[in-house]
Structure 1
Amino acid sequence: MSRVIIRSLYNVGRQMNVLQKKQENNAANTANANTPGYKYQDLIQKTMAEYEVHNHTGGVGNDKFQTLGTINMGTEIDEAHTDFSQGILKETGLTTDLAISGQGFFSVELEEGRIGFTRNGNFKIDENRQLITQEGHPVLAVDQVGNTTRIFVEGDDLSVNSSGFINDSGIKIMTVDFADYGSFELSGDALFLPENEEFELTQSSVLQGYIENSNVNLMDEIVKMMEISREFESNQRALKVLNETLQKTVNEIGRN
């Protein structure tokens, strides 16, 4: 009896850990509802492997092997799924704001020569007249022979046409795409680092004076928040009942 209760306590505790992770994910989505280029994430939950339960109380003499059925140890988080669907494009009128219409990512230079990829085109020009992200990462372009280069803005204004060419030059905003988004690792709010950095340059349509809004649906997140809260309450009640039952069992054993 006590083993069953302890196992049930373990299962409920594991489920509450899963709920905590889902709550943290829900909070991250909600906090980034207004972050340009942010992509909604969902946690996929799965049932753990089942194990056969048996004893040796079968047969006339209650001494033979018999199968009682199967049991699993609850649920766990299988993976984090990122929804890369495009958010609504919002017009800002700022020349340093850029948005990709359709597939693709902007490319930015990170530390140690790594390249990161983002849909967040909320850029700015630093004191060296270089186009950078709000975090200070240089935005990348490709020149006429296909070499990667940083973007320096000459004159007062930045001009980017729909093909991504800068100030009527041969330098083009570096937009890329991947065959598979499954290996992307999220770094920060809207910056992705793929395990496999093999990408293809794209002819993405670039809109100047626009940014892409987050694709988070706040109403969905509020509903999920309420569902998680109710599940927490249900599991707390189950823990209380199991704890009281275990205490009674221990007290009975103590008296005997």
Structure 2
Amino acid sequence: MQSGIYVALSSQMALERRLTTIADNMANVNTTGFRGTEVKFNQVLSNTENKLNAKVAFVSQGNDYLSTDNGELQNTGNLFDFAVKGDAWFGLNTPAGLVLTRDGRFTMTDSGALVSTRGYPVLDPGGAPIQLDPGGGAPSVSLDGTVAQNGKQVGKIGLYSADISKGFLRYDNSGVLPTDPPQSVVDRSNIGVAQGYLENSNVNGMREMTQLIEVSRAFDNISTLTNNSEGTLTDAIKTLGGSQ
């Protein structure tokens, strides 16, 4: 088979992966705290088996990474809604371990536990679940995450960071389970908690739709080129076979 067909197939595999991420982004364009997925493609050089020992450039399947753009903050006025200001995440205690999320839609249980919409405990800077006074009413939260009820400090919302570029898995609550162990963020003036706000998805629907059209067209064009290449090869074989 011609090396050009292999190159085309590698391109189609890469484009198919990009289509998958675009579809996921579009499905979460209105998901609170969601960060879109992008794909980085690398060029792979390979020596073809020919007299010239020529190198042919293939496209790798790509590596997923999260967009670091912040979503727009929406003022809800709900004292149990929170948004992260800066490059950090809330921490949730889940069956899979410590999960990072930018979805700050929290509630207080009857026992006073501060939990996410999925019921996962929200963690403090030390990695322990936050326990509020169930009879103390709605909390007030300062910029550094300190939680108070009736003027008395009862806890602190933890903020965490991790090197997401090392790998991650998606989880509930717009969460990610990073390969790199999360670390508590402390004493950072450019990072904080905004009470009464939520962060919208950072996915730009119009941009994703434009990319969807472009990637779909590229996929179709490569399919056409592959079919034409295979047809040319078949005709050449027939011609050579008939000349003997």
Alignment pair present for 1:105 and 2:89: yes
Give the structure 2 partner of residue 15 of structure 1. 11
d(CA) in 1 for partners of 2:113 and 2:183?
A: 24
Provide the aligned length of Structure 1 versus Structure 2: 235
Deviation at 1:192, TM superposition (A): 2.1
SS of aligned partner of 2:30: coil
Q: Which amino acid aligns with 1:183?
A: K
Report the counterpart of residue 159 of structure 1 in structure 2: 139
Task: Report the Cα distance in structure 1 between the residues aligned to 2:167 and 2:53, rounded to whole angstroms.
Answer: 40
Note if 1:49 corresponds to 2:29.
Answer: no
AA aligned to 1:148 is A
- Structure 1 residue 125, shift from structure 2 partner: 3.4
Instruction: Say which SS state the counterpart of residue 24 (structure 1) adopts.
Output: helix
Q: State the Cα deviation string for residues 215-255 of structure 1 (Å, max 9, x = none).
A: 11222211211110110121121122123223323433543
Separation in structure 2 between the aligned mates of residue 199 and residue 118 of structure 1, nearest angstrom: 14
| Match in the other structure for 1:222 | 209
Q: Does 1:191 align with 2:175?
A: yes
Q: What SS does structure 1 have at the residue aligned with 2:224?
A: helix
Q: 1:202 and 1:160, CA in 2 relative to 1: closer, same or farther beyond 3 A?
A: farther
- Residue 153 to residue 83, structure 1, CA distance change in 2 (3 Å): farther
Structure 1 counterpart SS, 2:34? coil
* Residue pair 2:124, 2:158 contacting (<8 A) in 1 also: yes
Match status 1:93 vs 2:74: no
**AA in 2 matched with 1:158:** A
- What is the aligned partner in structure 1 of residue 22 from structure 2? 26
Distance apart, 1:118 and its partner CA = 1.2
**Structure-1-length-normalised TM-score:** 0.81
User: Would the aligned equivalents of 1:26 and 1:225 in 2 still touch at CA under 8 Å?
Assistant: yes
Separation of aligned partners in 2, 1:128 and 1:250: 77
Which structure has the bigger radius of gyration? 1
Matches within 5 A, 1:126-137: 126=109, 128-137=111-120
Decide whether the 8 Å contact of 1:141 with 1:151 is kept in 2: no
Q: Give percent identity, aligned residues only.
A: 24
Partner of 1:125: 108
Give structure 2 stretches of 5+ with no counterpart: none
SS of the aligned residue for 2:40 comes to strand
- Answering whether residue 213 of structure 2 is matched by residue 249 of structure 1, we say no
1:244/1:161 CA distance change after superposition, 3 Å? same
Aligned to 1:65: none
Residues 120-167 of structure 1, C-alpha deviation per residue, up to 9 Å, x if partnerless?
A: 11223345443222222111125xxx5723334512732132232222
Find the aligned partners of 2:202 and 2:157 in 1 and give their Cα distance.
23
- Unpaired segments ≥5 residues, structure 1: 56-67
Q: Corresponding residue for 1:62?
A: none
1:78: which partner in 2?
62
